[in-house]
Structure 1
Amino acid sequence: MKFEDSKYSRHLAYKKETFSFGTVYVTEHFLLSEFNEGIHVDNNIAKELVSRFSNVISKGIKIGYIANRYNSYSFDPQLWVDFNKDYDAFVASAIVTYSNFSYLNASLEKKFFNKSLKRCKSVEEAIEWVLNLEEFKTGINQN
């Protein structure tokens, strides 16, 4: 399920950012990516994302990251190591998987991410998990 088809797109304020390789939704507590079918997320894409969201990830703001992988694409897990070294914005990440292969890839990525990374079966499960992180519990109205 795409983010815009979820109940959360109607209940959370967000900004939609469109790229040639996919879409990123920006909320108060998380960034959610939905990348296009068949792309390879590499250093070039990572640099473009960091450039576009530098105001969020470089000001000491703590957020979550959700990769909604309803499309099949590849991801260079080394990017997690590089990102962790250069930035400290993400308190945790969730990867929504829709196939066994995607779940296995997320398991591999988990080894490269030095914070909590949860593998989820739906975008709503991922959003609920991120919103219930201790870092965000104060000030969130869950109704």
Structure 2
Amino acid sequence: MRFEKSIFFDLVPHFKIEFSFGDFFLCKNFVISELHEGIHFDWDKILEVIEAIGTYYGEDFEIAYISNRVESYSIDPHLWHRFHKEFNFIIASATVVYNDFGYINASIEKQFANISLKRCGSLVEALNWVKHLKEFNQN
């Protein structure tokens, strides 16, 4: 289910950024991505997103990343390793998958991630998981 079609769309304050390759919803502690069918999410696209996210959140921010995979697209799982070498603002990630193939891809990516990467069967599950991350619930 797309974020815009979910009950959370009107409940969770967000800022939407539309790229030629997908939509990103920037929320208080997390970002939801919904990439377009058939694109290859390469390093240049990642840098474009990072620039927009950095402009929105400012300096010294930490967020969770929710990849809502409502469409099929490709990404090199090795990019997780490169991302963590160069950037450190994503503290955890949830991948919402809607079929077995998506689950297998998310499992492969999990092997390359240096952070907690949860595979979820729904956007509700991903949002609940992010909401309860200890990093966002410290007093």
**More displaced stretch, 3-12 vs 23-32:** 3-12
Q: Give the number of aligned pairs.
A: 139
Partner of 1:80: 80
**Identical aligned residues as a percent:** 42
CA distance in 1, matches of 2:115, 2:97: 19
Q: Are the aligned partners of 1:40 and 1:74 in contact in 2 as well (CA < 8 Å)?
A: yes
SS in 2 for 1:47: helix
Could you tell me how far 1:138 is from its partner in structure 2? 4.4
**Per-residue deviation, residues 40-95 of structure 1 (Å, max 9, x unmatched):** 11112112112222236772211100000010111111211111011111110000
Partner of 2:98: 98
Structure 1 residues without counterparts, runs of 5 or longer: none
List, as ranges, runs of 4+ consecutive aligned residues in structure 1 with deviation greater than 6 Å.
none
CA distance in 2, matches of 1:106, 1:3: 19
CA distance in 2, matches of 1:124, 1:35: 18
Partner of 1:21: 21
Q: Are the aligned partners of 1:60 and 1:88 in contact in 2 as well (CA < 8 Å)?
A: no
TM-score under structure 2 normalisation? Answer: 0.94
Judged with a 3 Å threshold, the aligned counterparts in structure 2 of structure 1 residues 78 and 56 are, in CA distance, closer, same or farther, namely farther
Structure 2 residues without counterparts, runs of 5 or longer: none
RMSD: 1.5
Q: Are the aligned partners of 1:58 and 1:89 in contact in 2 as well (CA < 8 Å)?
A: no
Q: Are the aligned partners of 1:33 and 1:66 in contact in 2 as well (CA < 8 Å)?
A: yes
Partner of 1:41: 41
CA distance in 2, matches of 1:52, 1:128: 25
Q: Are the aligned partners of 1:46 and 1:79 in contact in 2 as well (CA < 8 Å)?
A: no
Judged with a 3 Å threshold, the aligned counterparts in structure 2 of structure 1 residues 111 and 35 are, in CA distance, closer, same or farther, namely same
**Per-residue deviation, residues 99-134 of structure 1 (Å, max 9, x unmatched):** 101100000000111010000000111011001101
